[in-house]
Every structure is written in structure tokens, then in C-alpha cells.
A and B are shown apart, each in its own frame.
Chain A
Amino acid sequence: MDKSKWDLSTIVGCRKALQAGEISAAELTGLYLERIRQNDSGLGAYLTLCETEAVEAAKRVDEYLAGAVVESNFMEQFLLAGIPYACKDNLTTKGIRTTCASRMLAEFVPLYDASAVERMRDAGAVLLGKTNMDEFAMGSACENSALGKTVHPLDKTRSPGGSSGGSAAAVASGEAVFALGSDTGGSARQPASFCGLVSMKPTYGLVPRYGLVEFASSMDTVCPMTRTVEDNRLVLSVLAGKDPRDMTSLALPEEWYASLKKESLVCGLRGKRIALAADMKRYCDRATAENTVRAAKLLEEAGCIVEEVSLPSPEHALEVYVILTAAESSSNLARYDGIRYGTSGSGDSYREMGADARTMGFGEEVTRRILTGTYALSEAHGGKYFHKIKQVQQNILRQTEEILSRYDAFLMPTTGSTAFPLAVGEKAQDRYDSDRYTVYANLTGLPAIQIPSGGDGRLPTGVSLLGRRYGELELYRLAARLEEMLTGANRTEVCAYGGI
């Protein structure tokens, strides 16, 4: 095939090529596996490759495509047929080890697929492998992985972001067409921003969490990480929908899912009201702030009304997030005692064995958060910290919803800087700061989408739109228009690398 004619770096492009019969699913998967072989040793995006499974899965897609069973709407039914993807290693995969980048689960092979993974397979997507991350999704630089080091595709001295750093690096460098990440406080949007990708953190409950290894259950979400807004919408439309195995997942009206899947993202923005985060200079570097302002201006040119609005309780949001997630994680990670699965410890009593397993199995950051969370929840302090923190969270939710009752979306930088240098003995506190903007979507359960906003000449910057509950389609429309407007002058510089 004449590769220059076909864009094999996006889902939309791959679908066209597959549909036109220009390439087979097996060939497509072969191309990506080859890319991984050439590139990943220097990048470290993957912890586990599933080459054999991927080749087989792609063959099955080809059989369907070629066989008599194929109906004309095959590609409509199987939105991701033959598309090679990467999956963050905290989503369980049946028969394929799922480590959460922790020594604790280094050998853990689940008996069940996560709901999201199941939906990917049912839609025909081909799993290439499991990607590196911060241990149990706790971190912002992918540096807290016990099992590998991932670097930024554009600069090996920098971090791809985190915790879904492996997923971001894999897509950005052409080692996968798209990836699944997870986001508890920005873990998908921040690495997407660092690597110049699109990532939607959906409304809490839209994508079932079954099989997403828990960090902070009330805020964990599964997120698509893609090169384009349209690709992102495609993946989310496959992921969305109630699963009875997750009681917090939502059942929305059929029409809602149908429009998410089918409705055009092209539409007029005249009269849309956009809140622009005030006070950016305090929390951002220059390029990030400037590019956010430029995005706001572009929206204004498209007919939107843009007004500056202060972030709700900026002095508390991050602290609330840190304590809530630490508290929940201290309970969620209590199951790892090494008795039934995972790294096992030794000792003369259950207490000693458990302590030994946990000491060996958990890294420094995980340990720090468990200790913080245990302290925050303990009965002596429970009334003082945890319940007060829950009240502040409710406050932030009220304030944010109030803003979104007046504006269609809240535009803000995704994170305060471009990709930061790989840490040399940095304090944990410094890293939490990069979540300042992203935590709002998690504290409130609202959807937010990150798209590239340009760069500083070397590295990408990103902006986010925070939207109303179940307002994913609205966000995709705003984001698609912004993406289109930004593409002309600036997008090339962002996406000048990585494509196949």
C-alpha cells in the first residue's frame, strides 16, 4: 500500500484503510509490534507485551472482515475492529499479568478482564500490551514505578507525566493507535498534556470501574487517550454504559449513548459561554498560560463569550484531594497481605507476614499515602480531618456546579507546565502541585477533556475544558473546534513526532 495516502496513526485513519482493504488487521498490528520492537527499549512505555495474543486477535478480525459472516455494517458494529491499543497496567486482563507497576503484584495474573478491557475486545480492538505507570496510579511522573522507567518521547531526560505515563508515551510515539489510562486526580489528562494527546476524564460512573485496580474508588475513572478528539469520542462511546458489576456505574437513556456515538462534532459555537480560569500566572509557566489564553481567544473568535472566573477554593482543592485519596487508598490497599496472592511475606504470625509482604511489596510513595490515609481516618482524628474534608469537597462541588450553571464549560490549563525533568531526589509535594487544575473534575465527578494547546517550542502544552455532568458530547464539540483551530499554526509542532 502507499502509506503516505493513509494515516495509520489515528483510529479514524486506520478504519478507513481497513475498510478500503488497503491493509489487513494483521498487517496493521504487525506494523505496531514492529514499531514497539524498534522503539520501546529506549522509551519504556510497556511493562508487558502480548504479541501472540495480539497477532491472533488481529487474525480473527481479518477472518471476520473476509468471511461470509461480514455484514455491510461490520465496521459500524465493531467500532475498533483491528485497531491496536495499549492498556494501562491497572486494568485487569484475563491471563495477562496486571502489575500496577508494583512489586506487590509483579506476578499477579488476573482471572478476569476489566469491564473496559472486555468492551475493547468486544469492539474488535487488539491489545498490544500493558503500559507502565506510577505504582497503584500514585504519582505524576511515572517515576514511582517499581518495574520500569518510561521517558518522554521527545526528550529522554524528561517525564512523560503520570500516572498513565506509559500509555501516553506509547500513543505519542506511535507504539499504539490509542491507549486506556485511568484518572483519579489528573493521571490521564496530565500525561496527555505532557505528550500532546487528547484525553477525556468522563463523568464519574459513565465508564464502569470493574477490574480497574482501586486507588481511590470514589474518584477513579477509566479514560481514553488518543491523538484526536474524534478518536477519543469513538473509544469513549465503546467504553460508556452501565455494568451491573459496578454499582456506581450509570445507566443513561439509550439516546444519550446513541448521540455520543453518532452525532457530528461539528457545530456552531455562537453564544456559548466559557469561563476562563483566572490567576493563571500564579500556577503556570508562561507558555502554558499564553497558550491557554490563545485557546480562549480562538473560542471567542468562533463566537463564544469568554469571561475570567476564579477557581473554586484554589487554596483547598489540592489538599482535599490529597487527603481523600490517601484515606481511600489506605483502605483499598489493605487487601494486599500476601496471603492469597501477591508478594508473600514471612514471619511467625499473620501480623508479621503481612507487614513483611507490605514492606517488600510497596514503594515509598504508596507507603506514604497509606500512612497519611490511615492517620486521616483514625478515630482519634476522623472527626477532625476526614469529615471536615468531605464537607469542603461538597463545598467545592457546589461552587463548581454554580459556575457551570452560568457557563457551558470551564477552560483552564491542564497542568502548570510542560513535561518536567525526570526527578533527582525531588520532594513528593512538588509533584502534587501539577494536579492543581485536574483535581476539580475528580472532586466533583464532572467530565473534563484535555487537548494540546500548542507548545513552548520544544514540548507540548495542554488546555482542559471542564463540563457539566453527562456533558461529554458538548465537551467533544468544543474540543473538536478548538483542535481544528489550533491545528493550522501550532498543532504541527506538537505532533511532529511519532506517527506511523
Chain B
Amino acid sequence: MAAYKGYEPVIGVEVHCELKTASKVFCSCSAAFGNAPNTACCPVCMGLPGALPQLNAEAVRLTIQAGLALHCDIRRTAWFDRKNYFYPDLPKGYQITQNDTPFCTGGYVTIYNKEEKRIHLQRIHLEEDAGKLLHRDGVTCMDYNRCGVGLIEIVTEPELSDPAEVKEYLTGLRQILLFAGVSDCRMNEGSMRCEVNLSVRPVGSTTRGVRCEIKNIGSIQFAAKAAEEEFHRQADILAAGGVIEQETRRFNENTGKTETMRKKESAVDYRYFTEPNIPPVHLSEAYIEKIQRQMPKSVAAWREELHNMYGLNAEDAALVMQTPNIVQFYTEAAAKTKYPKLAANLLIGEVIPQIKEGDPVPVQAGHLAEAADLLGDGEVNSTVAKQLVGRALRGESPAAVAKAEGLFRIRDEESLLPLVKDAIAADPRSVGDFLKGKTAAKKRLLGGVIRQSGGRADPAITEALLDRELALLSDED
């Protein structure tokens, strides 16, 4: 629980996720991102007279899949409603959504903010996305490609009590949806968007303050930031004796502040009523069971496997499990190496930062395993291992590169002894110190050898040789 000026926040989060269907939710147009403007449109999604919606069964399936992944109750009979409002990105003048009968209710996401906490969900419903408006040079351009793309809206109970929990919740939710194969959850492409509802109250109170809604949040980090800013803004106003006005605000990424979008006076009356063009949808027990059986492996199951089979701790497991692609890749590599933990470290440190959101892992699993084996067996040091992974990103085999470029550790006496002797000859002061009983001086000599070898000298063998040579010197005295 966060507290500021004697106030605490009460936070609810709404997330919109575009479903990973090939076509839109009420017509057969492509739902893909990035098509040339207005090339993925038809009479249905453009709302032309007489064109009627056809419900995409795959969109329903994915909605149920999301519900099951989030432990929701699935409604057996549901229908659609019209939400009426005028906006140029909404060709029909209404959005087809589910007001009265969301497909999923209840459910939760477990987060870890110092301790385990369940964030409960109110509902998940299926609806259509609107088009996109591009404002430039005083002109508004309309792109209707996104119009009619299937969207689920996931609404929490207002029970987050710390802006940090917003981040935890969104990260956890995103991971679950990704692993359930429901959405690709790309915030940068708008396939995952979130709104934060926030009010504040005196610490310890059970009252509810006036709520503000923050839209236009572009990333999970910004969501947490927006929640924190809004919390402080409201607390500051109340602490100064002011009152909070109910309003819709937006988050400005440049200033890091929230700002007014519209006041309550201009709140819209959506005139909801049942969509007459889509008959009620009945979901059978068998249908839901089938989806349950075919669910991809859950986040919890993956976490357990990473712990039990590869010994990864929670923190590493979380990093490896950023996307299903990555964890899939990791288990492939981990199965090929004697050192799965090292493979995880190399993956986390060297590969994951190079992966663009949603892209496949740009390394062969075998190459990562090779690098982990070379490192684990002491054939190369960790610096070289990292370099080798870097080369693997370009498709090169770590073992082959190490061999061709002589990057293996130097472990034979023949090569090491001259280096040790050189170091002793080059640093008489350290030798003197050592002989006078300052054992720390040996570390300086050892460092010298390793530096000389370009970091490749095996530290253990080198130290043994150094001990032997220094012992000889001491005998000479």
C-alpha cells in the first residue's frame, strides 16, 4: 500500500487486447497490423447500408481461452449489445460490444508485490475495435483497417492499492494472455492498451473518493507512472483543501503528467440495447471443455518446469518467460547443454535484449547450448562466452569461432609458464612484497598474467604455476 500526504490510492485497471485472429470479429477482412491505410475494409466493417455482422467463431474461442487462463466463470448464453455514440472512427455510429452478458466474469491475476496478492477481475467481454484517426497539419485522415478487429476488454475490481501493483498486474496479465495464445499484446502497435481508474482516500478509510479515468497510456511503465502521478495529483488537491472533479484524463508521455481530456458534464449516454443482428450465442459444456483441454501450457506450468528441470530461480524464470517464444527456445537449448543455468544467464544477458517485441529468437538453440557448455566446462571464460553468443546472433557456431580464432582458455603449462615468468620478472616489487609475507601481492601478479594472456589464461592453473615459481624464488632466498 502506497501512502502520500495521508492518502492512499484505490486503483482499477481496464485493458483492451486485440485478439490474435486472422480476420476481423464481424467480417472476413484481415486483422493484421500494418496494412496500407483502408486496404483491409469491406461493406461490413465500413458500416455500409444493409451490410450485416457475422460473428467470427475463432474470436469467441479466444475470448473463452482468455477467460479460462484467468480463472473466470464462463457464461453459457451471451449476446451482444450496441454502444451508441458518434465519432468519425466508428463507421456504424455504434460499437458492437457486450454490456449485459460478458462471456467471462470473475477470475484473477496473482501478483507479487512483496507478498502474493490476487487482483480480481470483474469481467472480460468481446467487442470490436474502432478505426484510427491521424491528425496532421490541421487535417484528419481516417484509416479503417483496425475497425472491426476483435478486442477483449478485461476489467479489474478496484483493488490495486499501489501504483507499483499496476505494473505488476499488467506484466502478469500480459504474460498470461501471451502464453494463452490470445493476443500478441504489443503495446507499441496498440494491440494491448490500458486505462487506469483511480481515486484516493485517507489512509485506512473505507470510503471511495471521486474517480478519474486515465486513457492514452502507451506502455506498462507509463501506466505505473500515470497511476503514481494521478495519485499524487489528487492527494495534493485534497491535502490543500480542494475537491476532485470526476473526469477523463490522458497521460502525456513528454511531461510525465496526466491532463484533462473531458469533464463529466460532457459524459456520453451510450443508449445500450441488444444487437438485433447477432442471435444469442450458446456455449456448450463440451465446447468449453474442449478449449480447456487444448489450452497451451500455462505460465504456472512453465515456471514449475523451469524450476524443477533446470533449477532456475523465480527471478530468472520470470526473465526467460517474457514470451512463449523465448521460453520455448530456452527449454530447447537447456535440453542440449550440461549447464542450463548458464544458458539462462547468457540468454537473459546477451540475447533477450536483442529481441524485438514479438519477433522470433534470433539464435539457434544449439548455438546457445554450445556457448553454455564451453563456459561451464571452463573452455572459455565468461567474457569470451558472451562474445561467442554475440557471434551466434550472426548465425556462427560458438565452438567453431572459438577454435578458429583461438579463444579457448590457455590451460597447458608450456604456454602458461613463460607468461608467469614474464610477470614475475616484470613486477619485482610485488614479488618482494609477497616474499615479505604480503599474500595479497600474489593477486596482482596473477592479474598481470591474465591481462597478458588477453584474459584467456586459466586462473586456477595459472595460480598453481605462480605458487610453484614463487616457492622456487623463496627457496633461493
Contact = CB atoms under 8 A, between A and B. Distances in A.
A74 B93 CA distance: 46
A354 B277 contact: no
Interface stretch (A254-262, A272-280, A378-386, A457-465): A378-386
A337 B49 contact: no
A120 B63 CA distance: 39
B400 interface: no
A259 B299 CA distance: 57
Interface in A38-83: none
B165 to A, nearest CB: 32
Interface string B21-61: 00000000000000000000001001111111111000000
B276 interface: yes
B273 A331 contact: yes
B48 A341 contact: yes
A340 B82 CA distance: 21
A398 interface: no
Contacts of B276: 216-218, 248, 328
A378 B269 CA distance: 6
Interface string B265-289: 0000111110011110000000000
Contact of A111 (B43, B142, B278): B43
B88 A110 contact: no
B28 to A, nearest CB: 10
Interface string A340-375: 110000000011001000000000000000000010
B434 interface: no
Contacts of B94: 331, 334
Nearest to B38: A340
Contacts of A211: 50-51
B345 interface: no
Contacts of A114: 50
B54 A245 contact: yes
A335 B271 contact: no
Nearest to B41: A340
A247 B46 CA distance: 18
A98 interface: yes
The secondary structure that dominates the B interface is loop
A163 B399 CA distance: 83
Nearest to A212: B50
Contact of A377 (B43, B52, B271): B271
Contacts of A251: none
B49 A327 contact: no
Nearest to A213: B49
A247 B54 contact: yes
A211 B55 CA distance: 17
B92 A382 contact: no
A108 B49 CA distance: 10
A217 B270 CA distance: 19
A246 interface: yes
A21 interface: no
Interface residues of A, number: 46
A339 B279 contact: no
Contacts of B272: 377, 379, 382
Contacts of A110: 43, 48-50
A92 B49 contact: yes
Interface in A275-306: none
Contacts of B48: 110-112, 340-341
A244 interface: yes
Given A218-B276, A335-B47, A210 B52 contact: yes
B4 interface: no
Nearest to A350: B88
Given A108-B49, A110-B48, 20 more contacts: A91-B50, A92-B50, A110-B50, A111-B48, A210-B51, A216-B276, A245-B52, A245-B54, A246-B52, A248-B278, A248-B279, A327-B273, A328-B276, A331-B82, A335-B92, A350-B86, A354-B86, A378-B271, A379-B271, A382-B271
Q: Which of A331, A333, A351 has the most CB of B within 10 A?
A: A331
B129 to A, nearest CB: 17
A100 interface: yes
Interface in B77-106: 82, 84, 86-88, 91-94
Contacts of B92: 334-335
A354 B86 CA distance: 9
A379 B93 contact: no
A100 B47 CA distance: 16
A337 B279 CA distance: 27
Contacts of B53: 247
Interface string A200-234: 00000000011111101110000000000000000
A142 to B, nearest CB: 20
B354 to A, nearest CB: 43
A245 to B, nearest CB: 6
A88 B337 CA distance: 74
A105 interface: yes
Contact of A244 (B47, B54, B86): B54
Given A110-B50, A112-B43, A377-B84, A247 B269 contact: no
Nearest to A353: B88
Contact of B46 (A328, A340, A350, A351): A340
A100 B48 CA distance: 13
Given A331-B84, A334-B84, A210 B50 contact: yes
Nearest to A105: B49
B49 A334 contact: no
10 contacts: A91-B50, A111-B43, A211-B51, A244-B54, A247-B54, A328-B276, A331-B94, A334-B84, A334-B92, A377-B273
B270 to A, nearest CB: 7
Contacts of B87: 350
A214 B271 contact: no
A94 to B, nearest CB: 11
Contact of B88 (A210, A330, A339): A339
Contacts of B54: 244-245, 247
A335 B91 contact: yes
Q: Which of A216, A244, A354 has the most CB of B within 10 A?
A: A354
Nearest to B94: A331
A245 B54 CA distance: 6
Contacts of A341: 48
A197 B118 CA distance: 68
A362 B25 CA distance: 31
Contacts of A112: 43, 48, 50-51
A110 B50 CA distance: 10
Given A112-B43, A247-B278, A379-B269, A214 B86 contact: no
Give the 9 A-B CB pairs with smallest separation, nearest first. A334-B93, A218-B276, A377-B271, A217-B276, A211-B50, A213-B49, A335-B47, A92-B50, A213-B50
A102 to B, nearest CB: 10
A333 B278 CA distance: 18
Nearest to B44: A245
A320 to B, nearest CB: 15
